[in-house]
Chains A and B, each alone.
Chain A
Amino acid sequence: MNSSFINMEFLIDTFFVALSGVPIALLVTVVALAIALPIGFFLALTRINEIPILNGFTKVYVSFVRGTPIIIQIFVLYSILPLVLASIFERYNIDFPIYEVNTLWYAFIIFSFNTAAILVEVFRSALKTVNAGQLEAAYSVGLTTAQAYRRIIIPQMLVSAMPNLCTATINLIKATSLGYAISLQEITLKAKVAANVGYNYLEAYIDIFIVYLILCITVEYLFKVFEKRLSRYKAVATA
């Protein structure tokens, strides 16, 4: 066996380099989810209630995001956002250095844009599993719409949404690996840059692979725990 197959020392050193990108990857994931969850839920409601204009808009938006690769969405948004923002700022004479914005902000916008559309479908199918009678019953005992959603519909909906939410989160974490296209300092880019010095790409990618594996298995486990806690609502949901 050729000992040069894997450079062990580099493999171990770079593992920690890759690990140092985890906070950024998680930050982008958490912020994108925090922005996308309410938007996704609101747009899902417009689809369910067939609110004119918004319903059509949501349909096209979801179709676009699901119909194009994330990398292409990153390319398009990353080139279009500065143009649009610059022209807006120019019109209102706002002196804002648009081309010096931290790339992290673009990452937030791009991944929220993507995830919100995915969540629309997740929430839509989850909302459909809740019996219409639940809302009517909530009204009949005197709850307002907001109360009915908060206390009756959403807890039940979350139970059936959980597995898909988990998949969406995992996919989002995986998608942050494409942050290299906007020079986001996350796991993949950091390890790749470390590998550039000595062409140790294989080792770098093995490290990246292990980091994502740990990350995703942890997230999956957390979701499972949370799902178990939520399932106390399940008896109500299926009744």
Chain B
Amino acid sequence: MEKYFDINYLWTALPQLVPFLWITLFVAALSVIFGTLLGLIIAVFKLSKNRFLQLLANSYITIMRCTPSIVLLFLVYYGIPAFADSFFGIYLQDVHTGVFVVITFSLQFAAMMAEVIRSAYLAIDKGQYEAAVSVGLTPFQAYRRIIFPQAVVVALPNFGNGLISVLQEGALAYTIGFIDIVGKANLIIANNYNTHALEIYIALAVFYWVLSVVIAKIFELLEKAFSKGQRSLKTS
């Protein structure tokens, strides 16, 4: 009788999955870059005095927070080509699925980042800017040299959390046929005639677990390194 659980499948799956880890990471990295840029714009909208822009930013954040990743993924995957086709007559059915994955998770990451950037900006005392301008810096210099470095330190832990979350949500990309690490794992399982799925899934879990722990650790160290010069009041 065959064993239900055979650890050998796990060991053979690991090397097969490693090349696809880079695809997962690459997609996450692109989403983080585009998402941060979009998030910056939304944060600026939210901080602006214009009521309409504020409403726009708030609605965007609420909608993104309330939509499951898988729903957003499919909305982007089916919606963008259909929209482009019927309104502009552009044919997008051949676009690589990876593009839709990156669009989806950029949109999602942007909503997270908008809040992170906003709270980081608000955490910096207004006196910092005034002091910088009063010693003769231009507003741009003041932002670049005084506000930005301080805001980055404040934003760092939340940015790390967002990064881990976008990496994990990315695990759903396989649902639209994108072959990343999860997609490859499902292919391996299909090759085994749908047996020994558990071993492969455990291998996947290990990959994600290690990645998340490493990223969390890196951000912890970064935070420690950057807040070296900080002299804030120690509470407790």
Contact = CB atoms under 8 A, between A and B. Distances in A.
Contacts of B168: 68-70
Interface in A37-81: 63-64, 66-73, 75-76, 79-80
Given A68-B212, A72-B208, A83 B71 contact: no
Interface residues of B, number: 40
Contact of A217 (B4, B62, B85): B62
B68 A67 contact: no
Contacts of B63: 213
A47 to B, nearest CB: 17
A212 B71 contact: yes
A21 to B, nearest CB: 12
Contacts of A196: none
Interface SS, A side:
helix
B233 interface: no
B30 interface: no
B70 A188 contact: yes
Given A76-B202, A174-B67, A209-B67, 10 more contacts: A63-B213, A69-B169, A72-B205, A72-B208, A75-B201, A170-B65, A188-B71, A201-B74, A202-B79, A213-B66
Nearest to A67: B212
A205 B205 contact: no
B83 A71 contact: no
B13 to A, nearest CB: 13
Interface string A1-36: 110110000000000000000000000000000000
A195 to B, nearest CB: 10
Interface majority SS (helix, strand, loop, mixed), chain B:
helix
B5 interface: yes
Most buried by B among A1, A213, A215: A213
B204 interface: yes
22 contacts: A2-B87, A4-B86, A5-B83, A5-B85, A63-B209, A66-B164, A67-B208, A67-B213, A68-B208, A69-B169, A71-B182, A72-B205, A76-B198, A79-B197, A174-B68, A177-B71, A178-B172, A188-B71, A202-B75, A209-B71, A215-B66, A220-B66
B70 A209 contact: no
A5 B80 CA distance: 11
Interface in B44-85: 62-63, 65-72, 74-75, 78-79, 82-83, 85
Contacts of A170: 65-66
Nearest to B171: A69
Given A202-B79, A209-B75, A1 B87 contact: yes
